[in-house]
Amino acid sequence: MNDITYRPGDVSDALCVGVLGTQVFLDTYAPEGTRPGLAREVLGNFSMPAIQAQMENPWAAFLLAERAGHLIGFAQLTHGARHLLVPHVRAAELNRLYIHERFTSTGIGTELLRRAETLAARHGAAAIWLTAWVGNQRAVLYYPRRGYQDVGASIYSFEDDHYENRVFVKVLEQGGSASPRAAG
């Protein structure tokens, strides 16, 4: 898909990021429908004020993929994030890699991931890590094919819901891995 553009996101993108985030989250975590706890979790994480606050975090970065002015995917990265299963002192967390369902398996996610890795390395990270829900087999199978190692389990909980996640880590190349094009 040669007509995809990539760029850094900012607070002016919060509305579209929140709506796409809601759509992808529900497609993934609510295949049987929505309950009150899940609805509150979605609104707590993807409302416009919530996304604006995430974008204003000086440790956060959003990378957007657009086609003809429409947001079709984004990566959210947090520099300096730690996890007990990630021994690297200098690490970044890939909080989200969300692609509109119609655009999955087109290479957009892989390009956003590559750009997130480059940005993390540029900000001094020696590794990048993420969590993927075990019920999301597409993600659980995707990351090892991109050089990520499964280092153990973590639980994501809200209200009375508990989701087992796998923690994936990738050691980043230092030095020449960053390029101006990769920044967005």
* Mean pLDDT score across all residues of the chain: 91
Distance CA 38, CA 128 (A): 28
pLDDT attached to residue 1: 63
Asked whether residue 182 carries a pLDDT value surpassing 80, the answer given is no
pTM over 0.85, yes/no: yes
Asked whether residue 19 carries a pLDDT value surpassing 80, the answer given is yes
Average pLDDT of the residues in 109-136:
96
pLDDT tens sequence across 137-170: 999 999 999 999 999 999 988 888 888 999 999 9
pLDDT tens sequence across 27-52: 998 888 999 999 999 999 999 999 99
Domains and CATH numbers, the chain: 4-177 (3.40.630.30)
pLDDT tens sequence across 66-98: 999 999 999 999 999 999 999 888 999 999 999
Unique residue bearing structure tokens 């759509």? 23
Average pLDDT of the residues in 163-183:
67
Asked whether residue 177 carries a pLDDT value surpassing 70, the answer given is no
Give the torsion sign (CA, 113, 124, 50, 70): negative
C-beta separation of 96 from 74 below 8 A: yes
pLDDT attached to residue 158: 87
Asked whether residue 183 carries a pLDDT value surpassing 70, the answer given is no
Distance CA 138, CA 165 (A): 13
Q: Which two tokens stand for residue 158?
A: 């809200």
pLDDT attached to residue 87: 85
